[in-house]
């Protein structure tokens, strides 16, 4: 029992009063009743410990209840929880300056929000005002938010509702080199290669040409001549750590700019060092966005989000008044500031690179061992393992089979995520404080779970 509340009571309240649809995404047959956390660990109400490799969906960046961040939160909570940004207060200005210092020029104008959906909603509004255009393009399989505007950006049937959402949003083919019609082992920036053969000559990616061709076709067929924006996740998150051919975003950004649009990098999952090689995912694509949106890892689990843009776009946006009661709240800013300090002090990005690359390499060995492990991909601690019936047909492993393996992994003490348009991809996005030993433990557990699954067949 927790505070006098039994598991049965929690489940009953959950189905009736606690966003009743969440029972659909409880995932586990036997749910984990989470009670407490410390760094990469969670404990349930019975005191059982779990290695958390999903981090509240890629959100806990430096560690659950990170001591330094918790202390910063406590200190600020005792001084001032809330005032709004119409009053200058030190935590707000300290934070905006610190966040801006993590972005390259000219991305310096910071707008604070409370979630990723809100950040993308705001970015879409800015892009439309700045360009005077309306149409926005995103990649299929993407997730950019769940509100009526951002649902138009999101392109994953599981999250869609049959309402008029996000007028002017067009979703184009995702350049997925594993599941898409064109692909290859050298086409993406990952320490591990795909199982697909590559037909590309060095420096010339045929797959990329085809996928860019699809984007051009979208321009020719589905939008008016000029567009407002293109949204791209540097690596798809909910889509299942989908990576694009190396030059895709670079060429896409150029085409978008030729059509009057601005380029928006959705760093909600990929930011704050998660990809290891860079602080921001877009830097791994060698592109410069006009707007960057962020959330999740920004607050290590505290509800925060941000939009950062150029002075020119900020000037276009200043023609009206934009106000957000909680955005830039002192408690959020103190936490955000401490998260940025901890990322630097703990070497979080370096851990992502080192442990992530190690984990990817070990998982690739399981891919080579098992027919059902179709693809291992990602960068740093943004990892996807795509499960298939077999490597030739690449038919997605059934939801029932995915659930069996998923439950087994949990029963052995590790929490991971699921994603992909068909729910066929395991997602590994832990707090970025995990160790090589944690990675080894997970690989052993994953190996055993697939072994068990095969045994039952
Ligand atoms: N963008 C991306 C890439 C995301 O993964 C998500 C959340 N899964 C969002 C935006 C929306 O963020 P939030 O849930 O904070 O609204």
Ligand 1 centroid, distance to 297 Cα (angstroms): 11
Express each pLDDT in 370-388 by its tens digit.
Answer: 999 999 999 999 999 999 9
Whether residue 115 has its Cβ less than 6 Å from ligand 1:
yes
pLDDT band at 3 (very low <50, low <70, confident <90, very high): low
pTM across the whole model: 0.97
Mutation to probe ligand 1, out of 56, 124, 269 (largest number of atoms < 8 A from CB): 269
Express each pLDDT in 212-257 by its tens digit.
Answer: 999 999 999 999 999 999 999 999 999 999 999 989 999 999 999 9
Whether residue 116 has its Cβ less than 6 Å from ligand 1:
yes
Q: Output the pLDDT for position 24.
A: 67
Residues facing 426 on adjacent strands: 385, 418
In the chain, the domains with their CATH numbers are: 32-53+349-456 (3.90.1150.10), 68-346 (3.40.640.10)
Ligand 1 centroid, distance to 268 Cα (angstroms): 6
Ligand 1 centroid, distance to 100 Cα (angstroms): 21
Ligand 1 centroid, distance to 341 Cα (angstroms): 23
Q: Please state, rounded to an integer, the average pLDDT across all residues of the chain.
A: 95
Q: Tokens representing 155?
A: 């392109």
Average the pLDDT over 34-40 and give the result. Answer: 97
Q: Return the closest-CA partner of residue 380 out of 174, 189, 195.
A: 189
Residue 383 in contact with residue 429, Cβ under 8 Å? yes
At which residue do the structure tokens 């020719």 appear?
220
Express each pLDDT in 322-376 by its tens digit.
Answer: 999 999 999 999 999 999 999 999 999 999 999 999 999 999 999 999 999 999 9
Residue 129 has pLDDT above 90, yes or no: yes
Kindly report the CA angle at 360 between 179 and 292, in degrees rounded to 5?
70
Kindly report the CA angle at 288 between 301 and 352, in degrees rounded to 5?
40
Q: Three-state SS for 107?
A: coil
DSSP classification of residue 342: H
Q: Three-state SS for 248?
A: helix
By the 10 Å C-beta count (0-12 exposed, 13-18 middle, 19+ buried), 21 is classed as exposed
Q: Return the closest-CA partner of residue 291 out of 169, 123, 92.
A: 123
Kindly report the CA angle at 401 between 395 and 403, in degrees rounded to 5?
125
Q: Tell me the C-alpha distance between 94 and 110, whole Å.
A: 12
The arrangement of strands across the sheet holding 229-232 comes to: 109-113, 305-309, 291-294, 262-266, 229-232, 136-139, 169-172
């Amino acid at each position: 029992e927790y505070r006098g509340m039994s598991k049965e009571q929690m489940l009953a309240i959950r189905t009736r009063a606690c966003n009743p649809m969440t029972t659909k995404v409880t995932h586990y047959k036997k749910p984990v009743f989470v009670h407490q956390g410390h760094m990469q660990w969670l404990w349930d109400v019975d005191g059982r410990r779990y290695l958390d490799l999903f981090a509240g969906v890629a959100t806990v960046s430096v560690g659950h209840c990170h001591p330094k961040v918790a202390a910063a939160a406590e200190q600020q909570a005792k001084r001032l929880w809330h005032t709004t940004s119409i009053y200058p207060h030190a935590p707000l200005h300290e934070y905006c300056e610190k966040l801006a210092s993590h972005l390259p020029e000219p991305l310096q104008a910071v707008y604070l929000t409370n979630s990723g959906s809100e950040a993308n909603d705001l970015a879409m509004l800015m892009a439309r005002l700045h360009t005077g255009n309306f149409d926005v393009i995103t990649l299929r399989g993407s997730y950019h938010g769940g509100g009526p505007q951002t649902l138009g950006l999101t392109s994953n049937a599981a999250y869609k509702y049959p309402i008029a959402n996000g007028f002017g949003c067009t979703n184009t083919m995702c350049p997925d080199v594993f599941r898409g019609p064109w692909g290859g082992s050298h086409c993406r920036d990952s320490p591990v290669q795909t199982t697909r053969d590559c037909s590309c000559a060095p420096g010339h990616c045929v797959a990329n040409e085809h996928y860019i061709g699809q984007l051009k076709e979208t321009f020719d067929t589905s939008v008016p001549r000029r567009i407002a924006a293109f949204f791209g996740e540097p690596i798809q998150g909910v889509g299942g750590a989908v990576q694009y051919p190396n030059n895709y975003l670079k060429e896409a950004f150029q085409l978008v700019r030729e059509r009057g649009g601005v380029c928006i990098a959705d760093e909600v999952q990929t930011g704050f060092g998660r990809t290891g090689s860079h602080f921001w995912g877009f830097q791994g694509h060698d592109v410069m966005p006009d707007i960057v949106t962020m959330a999740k890892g920004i607050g290590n689990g505290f509800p925060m989000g941000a939009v950062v843009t150029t002075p020119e776009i900020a000037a276009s946006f200043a023609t009206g008044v934009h106000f957000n009661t909680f955005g830039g709240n002192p408690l959020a800013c103190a936490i955000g500031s401490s998260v940025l300090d901890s990322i630097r002090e703990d070497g979080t990005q370096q851990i992502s690179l080192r442990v992530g690359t190690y984990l990817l390499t070990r998982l690739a060995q399981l891919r080579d061992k098992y027919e059902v492990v179709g693809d291992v991909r990602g960068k740093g601690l943004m990892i996807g393992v795509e499960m298939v019936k077999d490597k030739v047909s690449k038919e997605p492993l059934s939801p029932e089979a995915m659930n069996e393996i998923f439950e087994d992994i949990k029963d052995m003490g590790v929490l991971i995520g699921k994603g992909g348009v068909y729910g066929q991809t395991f997602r590994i996005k832990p707090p970025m404080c995990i160790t090589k030993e944690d990675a080894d433990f997970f690989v052993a557990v994953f190996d055993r779970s697939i072994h068990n699954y095969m045994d039952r067949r």
